[in-house]
Structure 1
Amino acid sequence: MKSPFVFNVSELLHQGAAGMPEHRTQVGPSPSRIGNEMIAVEEGAEVTLAADLTMLGSGILVDADVTAQLSGQCVRCLRDLNRDLNLHVSQVFSLEDDFVGGDEAEDEEEDVPQVNEANEIDLEQTVIDEAVLSLPFNPTCEGGCDNQATGVPAPDGVSGEQPEEERVDPRWAGLEKFL
């Protein structure tokens, strides 16, 4: 099955000069896991891309909204998390090697991705990069963890510990015999 991140731009290229954006929506399974260690869009999960493709002379600007279902675990209580992913990505794809700056572009570390020989563009790496930057590194339950149901101690204390008012400071513990 074809990746929802790959757009065929043959018709857009035949239209020629810069003009009105062409809106496309594609739905399909994610070809890879997108996210970080604790929360991500799993491989094979349904991903929807609503994209506007605009000719820029010798390049194509893609503005896309990505929606999918995230799954992962809370870092505090290890409960399963299921949330919606809503990302916006923008990427320019070049039609020629010297799209930006000619020889000066060779000195830059970041290259502008190109339209391939089959007149296709692939947004997968752009979406992966944006997801990694946008998703929480340590996701937690929305509204806090329900510690009563899970038996996991609250993050501010230690399980079985006495309330602070009842604890005796160890520096003064020896003076209790004089009371």
Structure 2
Amino acid sequence: MSDQRLRSSSAVTPFVLDIRSLGRRPGTMTQIHRTVTCDHSLGLDLIAIPADSEIDLDLRLESVNEGVLVTGTVSGETEGQCARCLDPVSGTVNVFLTELFAYPDSVTEQTTDADDVHRIVDDRVDLEQAVIDAVGLDLPMTPLCREDCGGLCVECGVRLDTADPEHGHEFIDPKWAALREKFADPASADAPGPARDAAGPTG
């Protein structure tokens, strides 16, 4: 992450932490407890922590030889929709973070690709991407309102859990439907069956 990117992100994200008071002596640590909000959702397409909802941070920042080790929990209320029936679903996500932020002049910073390690910039750490990754990995790809949700009828879209027990649709292969229409007798189809039987043979 470049200096410019971190400076711009600090104005809009609550996940940037100032670590100047921590110092660089290994073993020095501090605790952070705060409740923040984010202007965008955190999670997946079908379920996420909604934008502007509260996110609880309970973290420990510890100075180590190569940087600052951040550990602790991030939690928030989630909202989304069932992947089968599309009804609303809600819950709580509670993830544990363990992230090393490397000092600018450390061996880790100099020998590790930019995408493989977080970095300390201007005595600050930005937890946002770490939180996004952890929350995304913890949430289900296919959230369900309940494990045995019946989903929706593929023909008409009605929710099967509330549909009539006899709910169903007659399916006729299009090629057979065309033959049935071709050879159907409209007159006989409209006439009542018993009446036709009662007429009997003529002679």
Q: Same fold (TM over 0.5)?
A: yes
Q: Does 1:137 align with 2:141?
A: yes
In 2, Cα distance between the equivalents of 1:2 and 1:26? 16
Aligned partner of 2:22 among 12, 19, 32: 12
Percent sequence identity is 26
Paired residue for 2:185? Answer: none
Paired residue for 2:131? Answer: 127
Aligned partner of 1:114 among 101, 111, 119: 119
Structure 1 residue 20 displacement after superposition: 4.5
CA offsets 1:115-167 (integer angstroms, 9 cap, x no match): 221x22111101111222221111001354387xx95125xx994269xxxxx
In 2, Cα distance between the equivalents of 1:124 and 1:159? 48
Gaps in structure 2 of 5+ consecutive residues: 1-10, 152-156, 171-203
Paired residue for 1:47? Answer: 55
Q: What TM-score results when the alignment is normalised by the length of structure 2? A: 0.65
Letter of the aligned partner of 1:134 in structure 2? Answer: D
In 2, Cα distance between the equivalents of 1:87 and 1:124? 13
Q: Does 1:96 align with 2:104?
A: yes
CA contact (8 A) 1:59 1:99 kept: no
Cα root mean square deviation, aligned: 2.8
Aligned partner of 2:80 among 47, 72, 75: 72
Q: How many residues align?
A: 152
The DSSP-based 3-state class of the residue aligned with 2:39 is coil
Aligned partner of 1:38 among 38, 43, 46: 46
Structure showing greater radius of gyration is 2
The structure 1 segments of at least 4 consecutive aligned residues displaced by more than 2 Å after TM superposition are 1-4, 108-111, 142-147
Letter of the aligned partner of 2:47 in structure 1? Answer: I
In 2, Cα distance between the equivalents of 1:123 and 1:3? 9
In 1, Cα distance between the equivalents of 2:39 and 2:130? 14
